[in-house]
Structure 1
């Protein structure tokens, strides 16, 4: 079974705390018949804050949070005592989380580092107490500022996986098998469409203790950009990858045609994806002879780096790592 706990999209109402009101207060001292104003400021309203956390790989823990509400600030007091700030609400999110305003779709935050904190919804400022309004002509102001209101807005969090290499291909192209062969990942593998229903990440070990991260994205089908199959739900994960590794099986018919369809789906979803470095791996080639490989090579678009591989027999997997490492670091 696929991991039903992988959640990469949540929508919730984010409401920051209101600022506390400033205080109207005057000193009352035994030997000071006309004490001056000493009303303190109100406390700030609580923020809603996003914090990056490498221990989270999914937004599952936020799935049922339909309302996220921060505490309001407390009012100021006499003796110039400031009101307590409202407590912030911190939402721990995986790296690669993007926050959008649900109405405008504007990106308001992007978490890419562990421990990184970004205020998602700002708390209201506390009001100034009456001591701030004392002037030469008004020694006893009887007013103070109210606190600012909090902000209420609907927000969307989307997770886009952070990986160096994104595997692009049709269902059954052998992406899960390849990931399992060259990394420590253990994706589910089967012989039916959409075996991979969630993205899988694998750390690929390289020479001299180096490594890079590869993501197995669920298979694309023609029409994915319009929502067919798993649609655009997982295409968003490809946006983050610096290298796109196109995997086409040797028994797929026309290599050029398969590559063209995959490229077309990516372009329809986001034309900027075509600016990424691309490498073509022709999989399941352990049964091919040199003559068949030559025929396939003639079909491959010029200037596209390519390699014949077999995850089952380990054929050319080390050379594939070399190719990917060079592309990542060039």
Structure 2
């Protein structure tokens, strides 16, 4: 059974190890033409040998067409390996043979994908398969059933059937494979809110950090080591700007990754002009993209708070919504980082 990590084994996106998603090789959506194999035709044949001149029907059934199968692989984190395979075509089943021989089934193609991959039909937009677990294997496009040979049509009233069935066609069409990051916590904020800096100090991830907007162009993942050997996964997503749901900035390309996160950690810098308004703008963008995102648990973390005294912290806290837990921290000064981990763990396991 071939698989596609080479060609027939197309090679997951889990957070089992700390990973950095580089701009050059992070591919989270591809378009391919896929076709499962056609079923082999049944065979019409009558037994003939030196001892039998007028034997009965012995035509065999056709083989099944090859399936196209998706399989989750926790060692993959991008769809890059599929970028150059625009046509995925499974083999057809073989025709049946004489002496009731069934044709060989078409070889299946296994496409290995990251965890969090969704397969959709391009024309209808319908979600066909979702891969969430390592080793999960789903027949995405089943091969066509092989046709019946004429032996199958023999009956007391029809001792010499003259027909056999053709095989059923496979399924074909343009398909879209889309990756949504699997992480426990997603960092949400405007560009330059300090998301990448936070990720770099509480995990072993090494995201690009610079003093300009949109430093992060692709999601970065890291494992946060917690107490007693426990850990959870956190994702640094590209910054959101007002109008992102309509495609401004990096648009909704990366907003879809937020859909997978259990908790959304909103990072608002201490030097923001209006902390409450900034949170509301971010929240509105999520609602515009997908109203169901508002059902997730929110936490507000005010970054760069080493520049604040207690009076300023109290004033900022008064601007924030009362029903969302908040915390002040500083990545650079290493302030309240353990308290932030404690809050995230409590919300994840509450």
Please, what TM-score do these two structures have when normalized by structure 2? Answer: 0.93
Match of residue 323 from structure 2: 303
Alignment deviations for residues 41-85 of structure 1 (CA, whole Å, 9 cap, x no partner): 100111111111111110111112211111000000011111000
**Offset, 1:256:** 0.2
* Residue in structure 1 matched with residue 122 of structure 2 by the alignment: 102
Partner Cα separation in structure 2 for residue 244 and residue 78 of structure 1: 64
Q: 1:188 aligns with which of 203, 208, 211?
A: 208
Post-superposition offset of 1:33: 4.0
* Contact 1:2–1:188, Cα closer than 8 Å, also in 2: no
Structure 1 equivalent of residue 12 of structure 2 = none
| In the alignment, structure 1 residue 167 sits paired with structure 2 residue 168 | no
After TM superposition, list the pairs within 5 Å mapping 1:205-216 onto structure 2: 205-216=225-236
- Which residue pairs with 1:248 in the alignment? 268
Q: Which runs of 5+ in 1 are unaligned?
A: none
What is the 5 A alignment of 1:318-329? 318-329=338-349
Aligned equivalent of 2:143: 123
Question: Matches of 1:191 and 1:119 in 2, distance apart?
Answer: 47
- Matched residue, 1:272: 292
Structure 1: distance between partners of 2:340 and 2:212:
26
Q: Is the 8 A contact 1:175 1:216 kept in 2?
A: yes
Where does residue 153 of structure 2 map in the other structure? 133
1:199 — aligned with what? 219
For 1:20 and 1:100, locate their aligned partners in 2 and report how far apart those are by CA, in whole Å.
27
Matched, 1:223 2:243: yes
Out of 45, 55, 71, the residue aligned to residue 75 of structure 2 is 55
In structure 2, the residue matched to 1:157 is 177
Unaligned runs of 5+ in 2: 1-20
Correspondence 1:37 to 2:57: yes
Q: 3-state SS of the aligned residue for 2:306? A: coil
> Can you list the C-alpha shifts for 1:237-277, whole angstroms capped at 9, x where unaligned?
00000000000000011110100000000000000000000
The separation in 2 between residues aligned to 1:237 and 1:293, in whole angstroms, is 31
Matched position secondary structure for 1:99: strand
Helix, strand or coil for the counterpart of 1:212?
strand
- Structure 1 counterpart of 2:97, from 77, 98, 102: 77
Equivalent residue, structure 1, for 2:336: 316
| Cα distance in 2 between the residues matched to 1:226 and 1:191 | 26
**CA positional deviation for 1:306:** 0.4
SS of 1:295's partner is helix
Please give the alpha-carbon distance, in whole angstroms, between the structure 1 residues aligned to 2:90 and 2:131.
20
**CA RMSD of superposed structures (Å):** 1.1
Indicate the residue corresponding to 2:133 in structure 1. 113
| Equivalent residue in structure 2 for 1:239, among 225, 239, 259 | 259
CA distance in 2 between counterparts of 1:315 and 1:15 reads 55
Secondary structure class of the residue paired with 2:254:
helix
Cα 1:41/1:2, change in 2 over 3 Å = closer
